[in-house]
Chain A
Amino acid sequence: MKTTGSKAATGGRAYSVWVANRTNFMILGFGILVLIIFIVFPFFGATSWTRRLVEFFCYLALAQLWNLMLGYAGMISAGQQGFIGIGAYTLWLFSDVIGINPLISVVFAAVGGVIIALPAAALVFKLKGGYLAIGTWVIAEVMRLIVANIKRTGGGSGITVQATSEMAQKLGADGWMPLVYWWALASAVIAIVVTYLLLRSRTGLALKAIRDNDLAAESSGVNLWRTKLYTYLIAGGGCAVVGAIEAMYSLRVHPGSAFSINWTAYLIFITVIGGIGTIEGPIIGTVIFYVLRETTSQYGTWYFIALGLLAIVVTVWSPAGIYGWVLKKTGFNFFPLQRKLRFSEAGGTPTPIASGGEEVAG
């Protein structure tokens, strides 16, 4: 991929701007192959594995969205569980109360998440940093308490997602789980694609350079408030989708688990361990998190203590996470976000102006 630049600026030498090199294209091809395998997986894989992958892709989607808010818009949210819960209950609302097919109700869950995110943003954006984080937590608590206090939703003890359960029973586990799986896979892929496109856009580039400096952002022509708002809305809708998927997966909605702060704990762990601000980071983090979960979660509180300690240790010693460490050592991106400048000699093939693969422009 390249775009040509002006001759005048570089004193007569033509230059082009490259985003990806050939290796990146190979990776892209490989990635598409992997994606195809995942799409057809339920046809030849065991249902127990399909179930595991549903959870995996859910966490991956959540982590990408949280990472988007943090790495792209500089916001720390401790309240995404609010949208997860809204998504779950919206699915219940549309499939059980209104009577729409649950697989289609997922879309309404996304809409519900975005609609709720609007007033939430209006309130929460008045705060900054750590206080913003607690503010989002309060909003999530408000949603939880309201839902838990309404009898119709089953109140504090939750309620079965009736219509979905019936559909699941009719199709049987082998028939039902793949449908949930494809929704989970779709949300993870969409989250990754959206994040990649946003980070690669001109706004993304500007934001990367001026992360925490509001003044610099405004003067560079980036409307920071609007960028934050759109990011928050996207994340709200995306998390609501995950909540809906979870509801279809467990066939039950319960305020304590749908709105649990544990979601945030998991997200923080995944993103921090993997690496904030990159797309590969949450992928690596989700893998590690999932492996840890499958092997140690029966130890209950010790599992959580280990998560907490690991997050602390990584933040203090390797703030860029595991992928950040890899990036430093190899300089290689699976998802190329940087632009490289290459000059072409008069009439010749473009040669990189920095040898050794160093990038000139970030």
Chain B
Amino acid sequence: MSLLEIENASVFYEDFQALYDINIKIEEGDIFACIGANGAGKSTMLKTVAGVLVPKTGRILFDGQPIDHMPPYKRVELGISSVPEGRRVFPSLTVHENLLIGGYRNRKGPWTTDSIYELFPLLKPLRKRQANGLSGGEQQALAIGRALMANPRLILMDEVSLGLAPVVIKRIYEAFPILLENGCTILVVEQDVQHVLTVATHVACFLEGRIALEGRPSELTSEQITAAYFGV
């Protein structure tokens, strides 16, 4: 049984169809990358998994259990956690308080505030700083740490490299194996193809609401990926 299964899901924004009959299977231990141009539907898919959007048709199964109509907070309880697009840390809360909110649902696991500070040592001296006073890279680390505090089995990352320097992006991707070691599967959405393909075990390329290409990065050529990305 796959950890996450999306079956024939179609998602609409009012009358506009953003996803057409999407099928995806994610196994435990994967680093699954969804790539594609702006508006291709990858963020929409992530939001549907997180519970912000509800598919009009189709199903989403987590560990075999249908979750497509479950509210987001219940999904966190099951073990799905989010690093939203644009970070969205809570600006008036301190770094430490942001982490504590991540643990709101009290899921047991290896991640505590201490282990998060070990993973991202740059956050430790900023514990008492208000989150709106952090740089982009610091906020991104905080957002990931906050999501980990829920001890998720599946972590959803929406464009974590957006607006960050390559050095910072590299450091974030270096954390991925540690996440996997601690029992967390990763579903990451990115516009920047180059970096994410160095760590992904699987990739799906979105084009205008459909999946144009799917497979392991090692088995796909860059011509194939470029073609699927731009729809040539």
Find out whether A and B make contact in their complex, taking CB atoms under 8 A apart as touching.
no
Binding site for B on A (CB under 8 A): none
Instruction: Give residues in B with beta carbon < 8 Å to A.
Output: none
